[in-house]
Each structure stands twice: as C-alpha cells, then as structure tokens.
C-alpha cells in the first residue's frame, strides 16, 4: 500500500493517507476526507507501511484536485484581510503573540491562525471575537521558530532558498557540538544561526564526516615527536588533517608553533610528518 503524507498548511503537521489506485506525485493537490470534513491538501512525501502506526486508521485519498477544486480555495486577498483583522484584535488585547499565517479549510467552515509566542497565551477572548466576526470554527495553533521560518522565510546566508522550505521533512536536533567539531564556533552565534534564530540545519549535513576525521586527531595536549623534536599538540585543522605543535624556542622567541600534517600510518611515538612553521 502506497501511503502519501498530506499537508494542509506549510506549518501544519503531515497526515497519512492511502493512495489506493491513484497515481499521485509529490506536489499534487488532492481531496481528502478528514475527521473535521472535506479538505484539500498537498502531497509532500511518501512513507512505507513500517513507518506508520498500525493502530491508526489510514483513510484513502478521495481524488486528485481539479481546476474547479482549486478555484474554491481562499484567495490571497481574503487571507490578508483575516490576518489584518486578527492582528488588530491582538493589539487591542495586548497579547504577547506574533501572528504568522492563516489557513482556511476548503469549505471555509474552519479557520486556523498560526502564531509564535515565547510561552502560553490566554487567547480565549480573541477566539470569541474571531468566531463572531467570521462565523466559522476558529483554531489558533502555536508554532515554533523553525516552523515560522519555514512559513515566512526566503533565503539563507548562502543565498539559496531555506532548506526547511525546500526538502527538510522533519527538524532534527542541531547541537553546539556540531559547530564545535566543524570548528565554526569562533564565527559567532549570528553567523551560524538561521533566520529562525536557531543553529543552522546545514550544520548536520557534514557533521558525521567531521566527527570521523576528528577521531584521527591526537588530543590537545598530547606530547609528540616530530623530526626528533619533542612538542605538544595545541591545535587541530580537521579538514587538512594537520595539527599545530608547540616546540620550545630560543630566548627571543620563547616558543615555536609548527603546522604538522598527520601521517597516514601513525608512528609508535605518535609523531607526524613535518611541514609549515609558525612563529608566535
């Protein structure tokens, strides 16, 4: 059984539906029956049976959406009007929340406003006013900073479109260790953080490779012999597979630091082949 993941809004969760006999592709608009009624969504991915909870019912996709179906979706102008009205109410009640987006159900019976906030927000009066104004079932969904960037962001530091808007399905945990192993911590948090204010997702792409290379480096403080001279490892260059080794110098210099390439075959004394010389 082919199972498609359908998304109704870019910040909303993904829902599993069976494709049945339909020839469905990623990016297709489809009509589905949900617990809350008929809805139109976008196919964003496919999963296997083993990735799906066997205890959950998998409903079938009703059909592919046609031009008439798409014509019934809410236009951008109406969404902007709804966001503006909701924003005015948020300002009126001085609620500590940032409005991000709004999604109208296909039949307009439900309206879901997405917002970002630092903590919990008491928006009960806001929901009452929205319900009275729109005459629809109102939902407010709090989303995280990364989901906000996915919904509203444009380009990253690299000049290309945000990965979260392109191909990242689920957000993985990005840790400071990833930045440390890749030796980019010194650039500062602003340069290694994305539009969401969190560490950039791309730090995970090469993390395993850097981590493997780092295991081949002698720890900082290791005593090594290089061409007969005894020194101490004081720095790493992971990609170049070289280390900075500190050697005693004369009275004027104090000490000398050389950049030393690691041999492919390590010597018993932990030594390395010699190269560039630095003075400090």
pLDDT in tens, 215-268: 988 999 999 998 888 999 999 999 889 999 999 877 777 788 888 888 644 444
Domain membership of residue 94 (yes or no) is yes
User: Which of the four pLDDT bands, split at 50, 70 and 90, describes residue 279?
Assistant: very low
CATH number for position 86: 3.30.300.20
DSSP-assigned states of every residue in 136-150: SEEEEEE--HHHHHH
Which of the two residues, 10 and 91, has the higher pLDDT score?
91
Domain span including residue 182: 147-211
Asked whether residue 43 falls in the same domain as residue 89, the answer is no
Asked whether residue 81 falls in the same domain as residue 133, the answer is yes
Please identify, among 43, 71, 99, the residue that sits at the C-terminal boundary of a domain.
Answer: 71
Asked whether residue 132 falls in the same domain as residue 161, the answer is no
C-beta separation of 61 from 31 below 8 A: yes
Asked whether residue 37 falls in the same domain as residue 83, the answer is no
Q: Whole-model pTM?
A: 0.70
User: Which of the four pLDDT bands, split at 50, 70 and 90, describes residue 188?
Assistant: confident
User: Which of the four pLDDT bands, split at 50, 70 and 90, describes residue 25?
Assistant: very high
Please identify, among 176, 211, 246, the residue that sits at the C-terminal boundary of a domain.
Answer: 211
**Euclidean distance between CA atoms 28 and 197, whole angstroms:** 32
Domain membership of residue 235 (yes or no) is yes
Domain membership of residue 198 (yes or no) is yes
Asked whether residue 14 falls in the same domain as residue 66, the answer is yes
Determine the 3-state secondary structure of 46 from DSSP: strand
Asked whether residue 51 falls in the same domain as residue 103, the answer is no
Query: Is the pLDDT assigned to residue 278 strictly greater than 50?
Result: no
pLDDT tens profile 130-159: 999 999 999 999 998 888 888 887 888 888
Query: Is the pLDDT assigned to residue 187 strictly greater than 70?
Result: yes
Asked whether residue 103 falls in the same domain as residue 120, the answer is yes
The secondary structure of residue 202, as a DSSP letter, is G
The neighbour count for residue 170, using CB atoms within 10 Å, is 6
Question: From residue 120, how far is each of 3, 100, 137, 142, 264 by CA, in Å?
Answer: 35, 16, 21, 9, 56
**Euclidean distance between CA atoms 219 and 221, whole angstroms:** 6
pLDDT number for residue 161: 87
Helix 124-134 × helix 76-92 angle, to 10°? 140
Asked whether residue 151 falls in the same domain as residue 139, the answer is no
pLDDT number for residue 196: 86
The neighbour count for residue 243, using CB atoms within 10 Å, is 25
Domain membership of residue 92 (yes or no) is yes
Please identify, among 156, 182, 211, the residue that sits at the C-terminal boundary of a domain.
Answer: 211
Domain membership of residue 218 (yes or no) is no
Q: For the residues 169-190, what does the mean pLDDT come to?
A: 87
Domain membership of residue 28 (yes or no) is yes
pLDDT tens profile 44-87: 989 887 778 777 889 999 999 999 999 989 999 999 999 999 99
Domain membership of residue 109 (yes or no) is yes
Q: For the residues 183-210, what does the mean pLDDT come to?
A: 89
Domain membership of residue 132 (yes or no) is yes
Question: Which residues lie below 8 Å from residue 241, measured CB to CB, with a gap of 6+?
Answer: 213, 216, 217, 261, 262
Query: Domain count of the chain?
Result: 4
Asked whether residue 137 falls in the same domain as residue 121, the answer is yes
pLDDT tens profile 101-132: 999 998 888 999 999 998 899 999 999 999 99
């Amino acid at each position: 059984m082919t199972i498609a993941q359908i998304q109704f809004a870019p910040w909303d969760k993904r829902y599993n539906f069976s494709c049945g006999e339909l020839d469905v592709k990623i990016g297709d608009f489809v009509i589905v029956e949900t617990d809350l009624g008929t809805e139109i969504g976008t196919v964003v991915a496919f999963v296997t049976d083993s990735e799906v909870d066997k205890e959950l019912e998998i409903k079938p996709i009703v059909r592919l959406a046609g031009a008439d179906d798409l014509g019934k979706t809410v236009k951008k102008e109406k969404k902007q009007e709804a966001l503006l009205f909701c924003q005015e109410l948020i300002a009126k009640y001085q609620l500590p929340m940032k409005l991000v987006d709004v999604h109208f159900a296909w039949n307009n019976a439900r309206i879901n406003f997405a917002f970002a906030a630092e903590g919990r927000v008491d928006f009960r009066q806001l929901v009452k006013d929205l319900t009275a104004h729109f005459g629809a079932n109102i939902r407010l969904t709090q989303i995280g900073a990364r989901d906000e960037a996915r919904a509203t962001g444009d380009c990253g530091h690299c000049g290309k479109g945000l990965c979260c808007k392109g191909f990242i399905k689920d957000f993985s945990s990005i840790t400071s260790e990833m930045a440390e192993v890749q030796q980019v911590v010194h650039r500062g948090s602003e340069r290694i953080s994305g539009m969401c204010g969190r560490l950039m997702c791309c730090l995970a792409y090469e993390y395993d490779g850097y981590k493997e290379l780092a295991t081949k480096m002698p720890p900082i403080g290791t005593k090594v012999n290089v061409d007969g001279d005894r020194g101490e490892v004081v720095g790493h260059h992971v990609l170049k597979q070289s280390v900075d080794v500190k050697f005693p110098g004369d009275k004027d210099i104090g000490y000398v630091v050389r950049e030393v390439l690691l041999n492919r075959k390590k010597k018993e004394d932990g030594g390395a082949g010699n190269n560039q010389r630095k003075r400090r």
